[in-house]
Amino acid sequence: MNKVVKDASVALEGLKDSMTIMLGGFGLCGIPENCISEMVELGVKDLTCISNNAGVDDFGLGLLLQKRQIKKMISSYVGENDEFERQMLSGELEVDLIPQGSLAARCYMGGAGVPAFYTPAGYGTEVGEGKEVRVFDGKPHLLETALTADFAIVKAWKGDRFGNLIYKGTARNFNPAMAMAGKITIAEVEELVEPGELDPNFIHTPGVFIQRIFEGANYEKRIEQRTVRPKA
């Protein structure tokens, strides 16, 4: 039951070129900073990355894009990354842009073992091109397939040795759904505690979904756009 590993380098054992990786986070909030840095060091390439966003040019998944380690991005919002835009427009990077709700649902369904589902989101747009359409209650719906990954990498506020996780604030976004959908799920946490220290009523991801967990370090927790009112 003890799923603790020493650090990101041990947690990522088995990661290879051309794998599909899910990475939790919303913007730069709740991203697995330690594991992303280790992936850069490992130099794995031709990755398919499933993430709500692509980080910024010098942080988050932007670091992997700089090194040309990502072959394909499956994501929802990528507007803060100039290098992402350059690679997409030049044809260097394959991109599958998905409505945010559909992306979250496809990850959740992958973890729940549901292979596909219907949603009205995206019908009549480029998102729906080539997809099966059925009408429910007079409204067209697209057939969307579930998403899974070789590795799902998430970041939590607290976790215990059994892999039970609690996320904080906005970090409780794509992390819980993605934690369910990896063949191997890695959790990096800000604080690692003993079993029984987490209130079971507040656990967001049960340990059954986690294979490896470690306590991270040196989190920057950057903010993409800091907006403040001028002083009076």
**Residue 107: predicted pLDDT:** 97
Burial of 58 from C-beta contacts in 10 A (0-12 / 13-18 / 19+): exposed
- Domain spans of the chain, in order of start: 8-215
The CATH code of the domain at 8-215 is 3.40.1080.10
Give 231's pLDDT tier (boundaries 50, 70, 90).
confident
Say if residue 96's pLDDT is above 80: yes
178-217 pLDDT, tens digit each? 999 999 999 999 999 999 999 999 999 999 999 999 999 9
* pLDDT over 90 (residue 222): no
| Average pLDDT for the chain | 95
**Closest Cα to residue 104, out of 87, 88, 121?**
121
Helix (H) / strand (E) containing 182: strand 182-193
3-state secondary structure of 164: coil
pTM: 0.93
71-93 residue pLDDT tens = 999 999 877 788 999 999 999 99
